[in-house]
């Protein structure tokens, strides 16, 4: 017997920030709706919600090149460089609104967020006061808040309690990638250990061409340090990030692992990984959005532990 699915209400999302990650998300939503494909999707359904059930209904940006334009045009404005997935993307019917520049505008934004179930905060990291202002606006509007930046929002205990009290989900902080250097390096090191090999040395070099990369190169210490810690060994060295504009939204990583096996004989492993960072972000954002919507709809507020594996800095980790 074929089960007839109940009609599902679309998940209405507001995106804050119209950078590469938003471009990948928005283009992908169009791709999946048009093709019905499930390629590259980690979880086809989350609480019954499919990828094609998510719709962007509002978008906010700061740059003059994006504000006032249709979302499907704005995602290609400089310095965005995520490629065009398909020719002939029709207008989104969503005009990019001007984002807030300080906390006095929370009310205006909260008003504009009415009708959205999930606010995906996808602006550049490094402006925690802006992130918090958007979180306040989302709470006021009754929309779940997903913080993809490294700014501490879900690690703010008092704020989480207020979302909890309001029955509004709060997810964050700092998006993990669907498939990136860290998980690959970590998996290989763990495999070596499981097989009884002894790590001699290891390095990792990351090269990329996005604005994110440029920002990290100009302010390298935080990111680099967090990677070393994450890999848990002083035998692993992370080379400085390389900003190579011609790579566009591609990231290329070179990994090397030198180890010793039986009687100290050498084992060498060299890996080259090539991915699109914004795709890795979109592939996780689509899950966070659905987790948030499902929780909101069932009345669960505050932090969602089921999101932890998709985040680099969930509540409880150091700010």
- Position 95 contacts a copy of itself (CB under 8 A): no
Q: How far is the CB of 70 from a copy of itself (least distance, A)?
A: 19
- Position 178 contacts a copy of itself (CB under 8 A): yes
**Pairing between β-strand 169-171 and β-strand 302-303 as defined by DSSP bridges:** parallel
Among 98, 161, 254, 300, binds a copy of itself (CB under 8 A): 254
- Position 272 contacts a copy of itself (CB under 8 A): yes
- Position 196 contacts a copy of itself (CB under 8 A): yes
C-beta closer to a copy of itself: residue 28 or 99: 28
Window 36 to 65, contacts with a copy of itself (CB under 8 A): 37-43
Who contacts 145 (Cβ-Cβ below 8 Å, separation ≥6)?
118, 119, 121, 134, 135, 138, 139, 153, 163, 168, 169, 170, 171, 172, 292
Omega cis (within 30) before 173: yes
Contact 145, 116 (CB under 8 A): no
Which range in 8-16, 63-71, 153-161, 245-253 contacts a copy of itself by CB under 8 A?
A: 245-253
Strands (DSSP E) along 194-235, which ranges?
A: 198-208
Tell me how many residues contact a copy of itself (CB under 8 A).
Answer: 66
Contact 135, 145 (CB under 8 A): yes
C-beta closer to a copy of itself: residue 161 or 224: 224
| Residue 256 Cα distances to 192, 195, 293, angstroms | 13, 18, 41
- Number of C-alpha atoms within 13 angstroms, CB side, residue 236? 23
Task: Give me the residues that bind a copy of itself (CB under 8 A), please.
Answer: 24, 27-28, 31-32, 37-43, 85, 178-179, 183-184, 187-188, 191-192, 195-198, 201, 203, 205, 207, 217, 235, 237, 239-242, 244-247, 252, 254, 256, 259-276, 279-280, 282-283, 286
């Amino acid at each position: 017997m074929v089960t007839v699915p109940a009609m599902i209400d679309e998940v209405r999302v507001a995106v804050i920030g119209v950078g590469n990650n938003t471009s990948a998300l928005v283009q992908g939503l169009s791709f999946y709706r048009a093709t019905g494909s499930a390629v590259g999707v980690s979880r086809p359904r989350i609480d019954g919600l499919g990828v094609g059930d998510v719709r962007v209904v509002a978008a906010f940006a700061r740059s003059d090149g994006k504000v006032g334009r249709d979302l499907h045009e704005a995602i290609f404005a400089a310095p965005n460089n995520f490629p065009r997935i398909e020719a002939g993307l029709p207008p989104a019917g969503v005009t990019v609104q001007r984002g807030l520049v300080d906390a006095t505008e929370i009310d205006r934004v909260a008003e504009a967020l009415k009708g959205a179930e999930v606010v995906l905060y996808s602006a550049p990291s490094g402006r925690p006061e802006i992130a918090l202002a958007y979180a306040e606006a989302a709470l006021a509007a009754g929309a779940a808040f997903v913080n993809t930046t490294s700014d501490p929002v879900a690690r703010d205990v008092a704020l989480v309690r207020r979302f909890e009290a309001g029955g509004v989900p709060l997810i964050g902080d700092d998006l993990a990638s669907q498939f990136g250097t860290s998980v690959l390096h970590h998996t290989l090191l763990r495999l070596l250990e499981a097989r009884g090999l002894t790590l001699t040395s290891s390095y990792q070099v990351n090269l990329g061409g996005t604005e994110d990369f440029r920002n990290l190169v100009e302010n390298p210490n935080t990111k680099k340090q967090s990677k070393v810690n994450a890999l848990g060994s002083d035998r692993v060295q992370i080379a400085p990030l390389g900003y190579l504009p011609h790579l566009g939204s591609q990231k290329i990583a070179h990994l090397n692992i030198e180890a010793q096996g039986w009687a100290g004989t050498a084992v060498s492993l060299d890996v080259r990984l090539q991915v699109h960072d914004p795709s890795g972000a979109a592939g996780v954002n689509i899950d966070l959005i659905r987790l948030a919507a499902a929780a909101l709809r069932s009345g669960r507020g505050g932090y969602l532990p089921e999101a932890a594996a998709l985040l680099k800095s969930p509540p409880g980790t150091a700010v």
